[in-house]
Structure 1
Amino acid sequence: MDLAAVILAGGTAARLDGADKASLEHAGATFLEHALAATGAAAEVVVVGDPVPTSRPVTFVREDPPLGGPVAGLVTGRGALARTPDAVVVLAVDMPFVTALTVRRLIEADGPDGAALVGPDGRRRLVLLLRTAALDAASPDDPHGASVGALLAGLDLADVTAEADEARGVDTWRDLRDLPR
């Protein structure tokens, strides 16, 4: 499968006092480096966020207008891809326990339109494998402020149950402090 990735790293991090989530560290690596390792199977990676040094080549972009939410970031990231892959891995940068194995499980569970990681609470996380044609068809004309739930509602996605801490995100300083080592 020809795969690209869009890493969403451009939010406000309001509950983290505006800290740059991509630069936060866990287990000796930044959250962005964890995300890049998880998306290693992707031939092309777009990071929607501010440019920072990375261990592999990526394209950095920002949505316009800025801070339009995850759907605006995803649509902007998809638009920045140099080519049209079969599928796009979508990953929020604040999920440091998502690994290449997580992505492989999404690929293997691939439903007609892709797959989504589901946390222990039964909710889908921003860890997705989306068929590019399905993503393009579902993307709203104006993605600014659009809901991820609305974007995914019309898609036939396989649900992949999170293992261990894969579904654990970091939204607050307490979340960061309480990450398992």
Structure 2
Amino acid sequence: MKALTAILASVAMTGVAWAGMRDYSFPSIDGGALEMSAWSGQPVLVVNTASQCGFTGQYAGLQALYDTYRDAGLVVLAIPSDDFNQELASAEEVKEFCEINYGIDMPMTDITHVRGSSAHPFYQDVKAETGFVPRWNFNKVLIGPEGEIVQTWGSSTKPMSDEITKAVEQLLDSAVPG
């Protein structure tokens, strides 16, 4: 399905920013909702996370990436998921675990499905557009300032790797906050 591409082409022709595209809403771990349109004009790294995974230590790298580039406009969105049976039982436990162990202050969603028929619409659209589906925890999807899918990475690519930081820096150099 190329619906996202068609929307992007339409948006490019009209000059309308992210707000004119499909706005993904996620339940926030703090209550309320996180609206991706709030980050219009900014790159967003979306990462499915889990608190009891061999890659859980990547939370430190995600927070470091966020700390390094947030003032320049990068958003890192952590999406706790139990799709691989490695997440704590409640959003409250996840929030406490992340704050105590990693000092996390990046945006986080409530526990959310990232694959299968119950996957969040964001992940359904990423799959339709690119074929990418998280194969494990700590898979990463980089969204550009215009809402386009720039790149995806698997679990083994660390948040502060040259591959990710170079892609982020390139987007930040071209980003114009909406």
TM-score where L is the length of structure 2 = 0.33
Structure having the larger proportion of residues in strand: 1
Structure having the larger proportion of residues in helix: 2
TM-score where L is the length of structure 1 = 0.32
